[in-house]
Every structure is written in C-alpha cells, then in structure tokens.
Amino acid sequence: MRSRTLIALGAGAIFGFSAALTSGVLAERPSEATQPPAATALPWEEARLFAEVYERIKGEYVDDIDDRALMEKAVRGMVAALDPHSAYLDSQEFEEIRLSTMGSYPGVGIEVVAEDSVVKILRPIDGSPAQQAGLLPGDQIVRIDGNDIGADLAGAIARMRGASGSTVRLTIRRAGTTDGLLDFSLRRAKVEVHSVAQQSLEPGYGYLRITGFSETTADDVNRAVARLKRDNPGGIRGLVLDLRNNPGGVLEAGVAVADAFLDEGVIVTADGRTPDARFRMDAAPGDVIDGAPLVVLVNSGSASASEIVAGALKDHGRAELIGHKTYGKGSVQTVMPLSRGGAVKLTTSRYFTPSGASIHGKGIVPDIVEDGAEEAPAELITGKPSVPLQKRDKEVRLALDTLKAGAFLAQHRATPLALRTLVP
C-alpha cells in the first residue's frame, strides 16, 4: 500500500463510521513513497535502557502483561510522545482512518457522541437506515443487540458497524415519550456521507456549510453551488461559506474547495525533511461563483484543512473572514502502513498559507472578530415553515449583511453621479 499523507486534528465530531480511537477527522494526500526507510540501528546504551525497563515491568508490575501487548504499548507511547498528532494505529484503527476519508461506509448512518454518561445521537444522516427508521437527534442509545452500552462510544460504534444487508437492534430512550424504551431494527446499508449542505438566504445570496473534508467534498461543493444557481436564476450575488467547527479532512479536498473560488495563485505549501514532505499546490483558472463576493465563517473549531481553505481565500483577498480565531494546526501527517497490518501516523511536514505564514499554534484571526463567547452554528432546517437561518444564527446574519453592504457599495460606485441620489 502507498503511504498516505494526512492533516489531522485530535478533536472533532465522531461519526457513526469512525471509532473514537482515531481522534477526529483526518486529511490525506497520496505520497510517492512506497518502500519503508532503512532501519536505523538503535544505539547500544538506549537499547540497554529499554531492555532494562522492559524486564522490570515483566518481572515486577502488579499484573502480568503479554509480551505483544507490552511492545504495542511501548510503540504507542514512543510515537504519541512526539506531538499530539502522531500516533501508532493498530489494524482496526488504520481501517477506521481509511473509512473516515472515503465519504461512504457500511452501517446505520448516525452521528453519535458520548455525553452525560450516555451515547447520544447528534443526527441521523439523510437517507440512511437510521433516518428511515425514525431515529431522532437527542435519542439516547441504551442497548445494541441486547447489550448495555452506557457511555462506551467506541463500543457502540463498533457494534453498529457491519456488512450491508445485516441487521442490528437499537434500544433507545427518547425524551418526552411515555412508552419507556423504544426498540428499532435497522438493516445496515452503504451510507453516503455528504459533508456539504446549502441554502438560499435571500434571492441572490447563498449559504454553504462544510462539516468535514472527505474524498467526496469537492464534488459535493460543485453540486451544492449548482443547486444554488438553479434556485437563484438571477445569479449568485454573494455566498457565505461556513467552516465553523470543521476539524479538517482530506488535504486535496481542502485544496479543491479553495481552488473552486480562486482563479490563480498558491493555495498551500509545505516543508519537511524528505522530498515527499515538500510540496506546493496552486489554483487552476475558474471560479464556481464567477467572482461573486464571498464571506467565510470560522471559529476555534475550524482546523487543519479548514485553515488551508480560510488562509488561502484570505491571503488572496478573495474572501472576508468573520467569527473567532481558528484552531491553529499547521502540520501534516503521513500514515505509513506497517508489516503486521497496522500503521504509524507521523508528522512529516509543516504547511504555510500563500503569504508564507505558519498558523501552527497561532490560528488565523478573522477580518471581523465576533465579540463574546462562541456559539454553535444553528441547525439547518429544511422543512417549512421555519425561521430563516440568518435569524437564528447571528454570525450568518452578520455575514449576509456584510455581503449586502459590499454589493450596495459596488453598485453605488458604478452608479452615475446624477443618479446616486436615487439610491436608498
């Protein structure tokens, strides 16, 4: 297998297909490296220290530990001590990373989180078996196939996954019901995870929310923009791109999203010790909204690939950023398969925005910084009637007002002097 280069944030939403052990959404980039590097001899003194500690543990630790388990713990500790984003992955964790970047997986299709000592459903994915069965946001998963779950998020995710066509029984506790526990029998299927949602805010003004960057995100963005154009036959006069609480994703997907709104220029560069760790990615001609004004919403949960997008659009003057300072993760990880089925996720590069700035540990400060504590993005409601998103989310409202003010000023500048008094 080829090595895979990833941008990873050790935090973020846990989806029904990704185990908690992977610690967040990952971004990957194919690497040219296909052969492992030559082994480096361990200095004798360090080898002796390791052997001495190993023997002490084997001989005197309160519990007997299997040799293989102890060696795995040693490897995990060695890699984890390097930085927060490097990690050893066993075969199951490696598979979870692979699934988390594909945009589809076999399962029931729900986002879950461990909260208040229970596993709670954040939302069922559109069109998934969970949505079709009637599961709702806020439902608590009590048992899976008769087994109590408690707050075991990883265990719940593992039990809900399985081959397409197989069934799983969920016992749910739902607030406001008088029937006690509810049982649902779900038939697993291939679930398409779309990380992009769109809405028209007002005629001519659109909204895109990207929750993560997978292999399908770039195509999802193009489809979402096409829908906005269809719903706004007069054209797109401005767009709000919402990257709040987006912890990152596939590197190429982030670059492709930035490229979708840029005609030219550097999107991101990276520097590291090996040739594969040094790269530069540029925009190709073409802007999906034909140069219409763009506002990007960010916050402290916007990280990694999200920061690549925000940084590129900001540095090129293509978009105005609104919200709170971003997370500040500017390193690149490579996932390197190992001989026994696992892998090591190792930091191999640091990346830079088009201006040459490293945002690692610093984040990106928006052009307009919102006062006060951060608020979670408002839920997207597709049913009618509903309160417009811009009335439920103050940052979306600010973004829309910013776009409209810019459009008004552009129109005002283009209006002949004799007619300007007619402009309200």
Residue 404 among the catalytic residues: no
Dist CA 119 CA 141 (whole Å): 6
∠ Cα 413 419 424 (to 5°) = 75
Which residue among 18, 304, 331, 349 is the active-site one? 304
The phi and psi torsions of 169 (rounded to 5 degrees) equal: -110, 125
Determine contact, residues 19/92, Cβ cutoff 8 Å. yes
Which residue among 315, 325, 331, 345 is the active-site one? 315
Residue 315 among the catalytic residues: yes
Which tokens belong to 423? 């402009």
Q: Are strands 238-242 and 294-298 parallel, antiparallel or unpaired?
A: parallel
Residue 325 among the catalytic residues: no
DSSP state of 379: P
Which tokens belong to 44? 């004798």
Determine contact, residues 165/189, Cβ cutoff 8 Å. yes
Determine contact, residues 217/182, Cβ cutoff 8 Å. no
Dist CA 133 CA 350 (whole Å): 45
Reference 7, options 262, 327, 324, 397; nearest CA is 327
Which tokens belong to 54? 């190993």
DSSP state of 203: T
Determine contact, residues 171/182, Cβ cutoff 8 Å. yes
CA distances from 212 to 52, 77, 246, 331, 369 (A): 45, 29, 5, 17, 23
Dist CA 60 CA 120 (whole Å): 42
CA distances from 161 to 76, 168, 289, 330 (A): 25, 9, 39, 32
Which residue among 302, 329, 345, 393 is the active-site one? 329
Which tokens belong to 274? 């090996």
Locate the DSSP E strands across 116-164.
Answer: 118-124, 140-144, 147-148
Active site residues: 304, 315, 329
